[in-house]
Structure 1
Amino acid sequence: MKPARALAPLPRHHSIFFLIMRRLRAPLIVLIVIIAVSVFGLTLIPGVDADGQPTRLSFFHAFYFISYTATTIGFGEIPHAFSEQQRLWVMFCIYLSVIGWAYTLGTVFALLGDRNLQQAIQMQRFVRAVRRLREPFYLVCGYGETGRLICRALDRLGYRAVVIELDESKVGEIDLHTYAADVPALTADARNPETLEFAGLTHRSCVGVMALTNDDNANLAIAIAARLLAPHLPALCRAESAEVAANMASFGTRHIINPFEKFGEYLALALHSPAAWHLLAWLTGQPGSTVIHHRNPPRGRWIICGHGRFGRVMVDAMKSQAVPLTIIDRSPRQDPEHTWVQGEGTGADALRQAGVGEAVGIVAGTGSDVDNLSIAVTARALNPRLYVVLRQNHYTNHALFDAFESDITVVPSEIVANECLAILGTPLLAPFLAEIRQRDEEWCAWVLERMTRRFGWEVPRVWSERINLVRTPALYRRLMRGERVTLGMLLCSPGNRYEALGCEVLYLRRDDEAPRLIPASDLVLQPGDELLLVGRGGARAELALTLTNEHALNYVLTGEDLPGGLVWEYLSRRRKPHATPSKSGEQET
């Protein structure tokens, strides 16, 4: 068995000093030769002193004169006035040095504009910025639409990010965004393992890596590098190809996100249990956004326009719910299970042939945003009651899609971003969502109505807590002493224990027991319990104070407000009345 691989420090990048010296080697040699020849010539050429006696310059005086002559002219002749021969040699040296300096400065200016030097300087700055990171950060590979959403959400949640992006123009956009903390970014290919190490893949503060490029093969290379170089880190990789996803899974990648398959699961859930679908959308939305409660997807015949990767996933999702389909595609197939119509769906003829007047819903799922909008507008004009699922390929077109007001707009970048945030930020959210998919519509509707009535339709804060000595020291010590603490006792405001905190527990996981969904307030907590909570942002900070501060927890549980500080605690104990025995043997106070 191989020993466990220790966490390696960040690699050292080669210094740019040697790159500069290699490029300036020839000009520097030329300058040195010019100065040496000039100094040596001045020491050989005879001159006269103030008394008219023959003399020669020493090496020190010759070097001193050539040194200031190389930068400016006009300091005069030292230590005595030069002879005609010396002045002739100085004129030769002046023009020679001008040529040497012109050659050197030209090389320096060319070097400053050299692409390789600029990349080396950028790399050095990037590596130093990553080395200085002390707080936890996520390594984001790809700063496209998905990467932008991820970085914005991480910044809003108070996490740091390090970005690798191949497109230099996208890296330049990072400085234009108003992030609360600096985002170190590098223009490089994330498929290079050395680049990933420079970006902090093996850094002790790196807590996760996300492969979000639009190239499945690049995401596969990142997944492999993360699995081999940092197997302890959670890796979230985007994959739109089933073959690449299977390859990632063979390397042990923990989280593989296919936005089309993920939405297929959402749509199948919406057809099967609309309340569960709305609850999932409310819990996994972008922080700070508001979920609009649309009408539920109707049952009946649907039309799917486009049978590409997205269209095939939609067909499978509809098929799993026994929904009758009509497929519009340029290349129809012989399929006895579904009706096929040849066309693009942007024209009214193909839609009428597909029975748009009798259909209950349509999926505009081509690879062109313009075609999808054209399909949706034409279909809605032919059937105003139609339920429209609209695929948006580029997030930059959101203004057009918002103006149309479809029932569901499928944005792959948002789906991937929401899934990444749900997995990384709240590990218990995934099993909770898996549980609600198994529950009936009545139970899901009850949970949805209960949560939205209290917190509204704005996407709430969802977080996890584990009762242990590190995360919840105050509560953990009390439980280890055998004290009885229930959920209802804990979820009170540390400012006023008669007010409930603005959060609720959705899911509780305990060792050797079945998980509990929406546990009762009288449930007694135990050390090691894991809690999934949902609520407002301020409630998380208040609960953290209760869990970590002994005084706040004591007030919440008992109503007694202990004095803070060692001195005040000592004085408070001295002021307490002591018990004295009475003549009858009873204790008197």
Structure 2
Amino acid sequence: MHNLIYLLLRRMRLPLIVVILSYAISILGLVLIPGMDDQGNPWPMSFFHAFYFVSFMGSTIGFGEIPYPFTDPQRIWTTVAMYLTVISWLYAIGSLFALLQDPAFKRIVGFTRFVREVKNIREPFYLICGMGDAGHLVIRELAAHNIRSVIIDRNDSKIQSLRLEELTHVPGLSADVTDASTLVAAGLQKPECQGVIAMTGADHINMTIAITSKLLVPELPVICRAESHDSQANIASFGTDYIVNPYDSFAKRFAMMFQSPSMYLVYEWMTSMHEAPLSEFAVPPRGTWILCGYGRFGRAVQKSLSFKGIQTVIIEADTAGTGAPEGTIEGRGTEAITLHEAGIEQAVGIIAGTDDDANNLSIIMTATELNENLFTVARQNLSTNDTLFAAAGINITMQPGRIAGQRVVDLITTPLLAGFLRMARNQTEDWANILVSRVVGVLTDKPPESWVMTISQHETPAVLELLNRGSTITLANLLTDPRDITVALPCIAFYIKHASHSEELLPEDELELQDGDQLLFCGQADAETHMRWSACNLHALSYINSGYDLPSGALWRWLDKRRHRPVTEASASPDDPSN
């Protein structure tokens, strides 16, 4: 605010001086030039009358010769004063308009407005640094879960595009995300800030954000994106809570498709975007795969596939710079001769993993012309090319920004998902098939939603109230539809983490719930709504648990208490000698 006032006064200093001088000269001239009263006697105009006259004349809101008609010398001076004051006002107003369009002034005004908006936030929010594909996805998904966010990005056009989004108001600032004062202004030290998310496209910038956050607010969770293993190790060295590597994440998921297709399908369902349509699923064939590009992405994919016993033939243009293994074919993969050398006719699949979308599309199109039975995987670097990749008919499209963004959303909205997936990976394919069949039983045309519920006074007050009364609340009670207790909600309990920190996959319906238990559910979105309603409504949960509807009014509660009052000595037989 101080910078805004300082800039305004500094830039408007000369125009204001010109206006003041024009008024002073005009007033002084009217005072010095003698006038004449209505009797023909000389009459000198006072400073008050001169100031009054110039005030309404100079601002062009009126004109009148007061208190007596002017003499010719006064009228000549008035004409000069009229042009002098009007021109000075035009100069001042023009300078003001120029100031309002000045980029520096706009930047200060925007910063002042941003700081005020952040100070007025009274609900939990996340500070997101970087609004690329990943950051934009995080913003939209958090908004869909009614979680507020504050955005910082160097690109002002991306910040301005927030105003065009159909979202609740999201404060955004175009500034240097590595500046500690910028992070503080964005609410880093506010108690409402729940965490910092570093999602820029440069590892060293993300690392700087993470270091700054951990130094200023050590207890604040930090989620950081890293695309190289060196940066990942560096970021982890100073206690960053979560590190997201989109290339490693995709490589592990892709390898999972060979080992356990059903488990991969469950993973896709659990990590799909909010209200996204179900995508078609095809199991990649085993055999020889051609991998074009041995950068960060190609290296991660090749490592994961080798663990699953999948043979890969690598094509790389810069074999020395990337440290490609022996036997790598030098080339880009966009030429037919290079693909022939790699054995495209015998390959079962091809992975286009360069950092150029045009090259990746060219690789896929050239390869499918040579072998139309190929299973195709392509890396899409820019979300603006969605239409092109969709038209290419690629089996699997890998988008680093989307994978990183969805991983962040999962960490925030379903923190138990990581524990479930960790335990589920150790299960057999038959177990995964049974799980898929159970999930399919509650599906519609959209992938299931996942949510976490903690047995606590804040989230489930009705459950805590009945537990404190000595009642037994089971998982089946939560899975019952409060609108019809003979019907189960369309959802499944995937995982429970007990207050004792023990874990369990697919808990039984008869499981007794305790204070502090955390549960991961998967099902239709409306199932979550009804479940949370019954967990908060004592009458609904009591009816589900016992089949007895608690009276709600004070009179009915008193009558119910009398009706269930135990028999006492006062109701003894009349023959009792004590009567």
TM-score normalised by L of structure 1: 0.91
Q: Deviations over 1:278-302 (max 9, x none)?
A: 2111111112123435232322221
Could you tell me which residue of structure 1 aligns to residue 520 of structure 2? 532
Q: Indicate the residue corresponding to 2:19 in structure 1.
A: 31
Give the one of 271, 275, 284 matched to 1:297: 284
Q: How does 1:480-499 map to 2 (within 5 A)?
A: 480-499=468-487
Residue matched to 1:87:
75
Bigger mean CA offset, 554-563 vs 237-246? 237-246
Deviation at 1:570, TM superposition (A): 3.5
Q: Is the 8 A contact 2:497 2:504 kept in 1?
A: yes
Spell out the pairing of 1:196-275 with structure 2 (5 A cutoff).
196-275=183-262
Give the letter for the 1:258 counterpart.
Answer: N
- Taking the aligned partners of 1:540 and 1:25, their CA distance within structure 2 comes to 61
**Whole-angstrom CA distance in 1 between matches of 2:360 and 2:124:** 41
* Paired position in structure 2 for 1:553: 541
Deviation at 1:320, TM superposition (A): 2.1
1:333-344 matches, cutoff 5 A: 339-344=327-332
Cα pair 2:56 2:62 within 8 Å, conserved: no
* C-alpha displacement of 1:119: 1.4
Q: How many residues align?
A: 573
In the alignment, the residues of structure 1 paired with residue 201 and residue 32 of structure 2 have an alpha-carbon distance, to the nearest angstrom, of 71
1:113 is aligned to 101
Partner of 2:140: 152
Partner SS, residue 80 of structure 1: coil
Summarize the alignment of residues 559-574 of structure 1 with structure 2, pairs less than 5 Å apart. Answer: 559-573=547-561
- 1:436 Cα shift? 1.2
Offset, 1:415: 0.5
**Shift, 1:23, TM fit:** 1.3
Structure 2 letter corresponding to 1:410: M
Do residues 282 (structure 1) and 272 (structure 2) align? no
Please point out which of 428, 431, 443 is paired with 2:431. 443
How far, CA to CA, are the matches of 2:214 and 2:260 in structure 1? 37
- Paired residue secondary structure (2:2): coil
**Per the alignment, do residues 445 and 338 of structure 1 end up closer, same or farther by CA in structure 2, a change over 3 Å counting?**
farther
Q: Structure 1 stretches of 5 or more lacking a match?
A: 1-12
Distance change >3 Å, CA 343–CA 544, structure 1 → 2: same
SS state of the match for residue 442, structure 2? helix
SS of aligned partner of 1:52: coil
Q: TM-score, normalised by structure 2?
A: 0.92
Q: Could you say which residue in structure 1 is the equivalent of 2:299?
A: 312
Give 1:32 deviation, angstroms.
1.6
- For 1:531 and 1:459, the matched residues in 2 are separated by 19
- Residue 508 of structure 2: aligned partner: 520
Task: Please list the CA deviations of residues 500-519 of structure 1 after superposition, one character each: whole Å capped at 9, or x if unmatched.
Answer: 12222111112445310001
How far 1:576 moved relative to its partner?
6.4
**Structure 1 range deviating more: 100-109 or 331-340:** 331-340
For structure 2, the 5+ residue unaligned runs are none
Structure 1 CA distance for aligned equivalents of residues 34 and 319 of structure 2: 100
Aligned amino acid, residue 144 of structure 1: G
Paired residue for 2:455?
Answer: 467
Aligned to 1:388, the other structure's residue is in SS state strand
Whole-Å Cα distance in 2 between the matches of residues 456 and 77 of structure 1?
84
Q: Tell me the alpha carbon deviations over residues 244-266 of structure 1, each in whole angstroms, 9 at most, x when there is no partner.
A: 22222122111111111111111
Deviations 1:427-475 (A, max 9, x none): 1111111111222222222212221232257322211111122221221
Does residue 355 of the first structure (1) align with residue 335 of the second (2)? no
| Alignment CA distance shift 1:266-1:14 (3 Å) | farther
Alignment of 1:366-377 (within 5 A): 366-377=354-365
Q: Match for 2:58 among 49, 70, 81?
A: 70
* One-letter code aligned to 2:241: R
CA gap of 1:465–1:374, structure 2 versus 1, over 3 A, is same
Counterpart Cα distance in 2 of 1:151 and 1:107: 39
Equivalent residue in structure 2 for 1:193, among 153, 172, 180: 180
Offset of 1:531 from its aligned partner?
0.9
- Output the CA distance in 2 between the equivalents of 1:571 and 1:584: 26
Alpha-carbon distance in structure 1 between the residues aligned to 2:455 and 2:256: 33
CA contact (8 A) 1:325 1:339 kept: no
Structure 1 CA distance, aligned partners of 2:163 and 2:3? Answer: 26
Q: Does the CA-based 8 Å contact 1:505-1:518 persist in structure 2? A: yes
CA distance in 1, matches of 2:157, 2:111: 17
Name the CA shift for 1:65/1:385 in 2 (closer, same or farther; >3 Å): same
Distance 1:456 1:97, change over 3 A: closer
- Rounded to whole Å, the distance in 2 between the matches of 1:235 and 1:463 is 22
Structure 1 residues 332 and 96: alpha-carbon distance in aligned structure 2, compared to 1, 3 A threshold:
closer
What is the CA distance between 1:363 and its match in structure 2? 1.0
Q: Deviations over 1:545-572 (max 9, x none)?
A: 2222211111110112223243443355
Separation (CA, whole Å) in 1 of partners of 2:539 and 2:429: 43
Give the % identical residues.
40
* Aligned-partner SS, 1:164: strand
- Tell me, in whole angstroms, the C-alpha distance in 2 between the residues paired with 1:317 and 1:577: 68
- What is the CA distance between 1:337 and its match in structure 2? 6.9
Tell me, yes or no, if the aligned pair for 2:124 and 2:193 is still in contact at 8 Å: yes
Selected match of 2:352 from 346, 350, 364: 364
- Asked if structure 2 preserves the Cα contact closer than 8 Å seen for 1:136 and 1:206, the reply is yes
C-alpha RMSD of matched pairs (Å): 2.5
1:80/1:387 Cα in 2 relative to 1: closer, same or farther (>3 Å)? Answer: same
1:9 equivalent in structure 2: none
Distance across 2 between alignment mates of 1:101 and 1:250: 62
Distance in 1, matches of 2:574 and 2:386, equals 85
For residue 277 of structure 1, report the CA deviation from its aligned partner: 1.7
- Contact 1:48/1:55, CA 8 A, preserved across alignment: yes
Out of 360, 363, 368, which is 1:380 matched to?
Answer: 368
